[in-house]
Amino acid sequence: MNESRRNKILAAADKDVIAKTLKAGEWNEYRIRCEGPRIQLWINGVQTVDYTEPDGKIARGGLVALQIHGGGVAEVSYKDIMIEELAQ
């Protein structure tokens, strides 16, 4: 999370939790919830990250994009993407 802005990962999921939760070779559900300074991530219904940004100067808005990081051979597919704005 946030590798390009500060050149580091701010919060990472536990690798053992990911290994138990990820369905290799199948579709996986990935949920991201961003509310104010708080960012939460779930894979297949299991919460993997709950991070709150302590720096109030970091923008709370921006672009949404789908990406995969370089450095390895991978194939990625996306389906049923839904973006929902949270009620104020």
The answer to whether 30 and 22 have CB atoms below 8 angstroms apart is: no
Q: Where are the domains of the chain?
A: 1-80
Say what the pLDDT of residue 5 is.
Answer: 66
The answer to whether 40 and 50 have CB atoms below 8 angstroms apart is: yes
Say what the pLDDT of residue 32 is.
Answer: 94
Say what the pLDDT of residue 66 is.
Answer: 87
84 exposed, middle or buried (CB, 10 Å; 0-12, 13-18, 19+)? Answer: exposed
Say what the pLDDT of residue 65 is.
Answer: 87
Sequential pLDDT tens for the chain (88 residues): 555 667 778 888 999 999 999 999 999 999 999 998 999 999 999 999 999 999 999 888 888 888 877 777 888 899 999 999 888 7
Question: Around Cβ 31, how many Cβ atoms within 10 Å?
Answer: 14
- Residues 10/15/16/17 CA torsion (nearest 10 deg): 60
Locate 43 and state its tokens. Answer: 């894979």
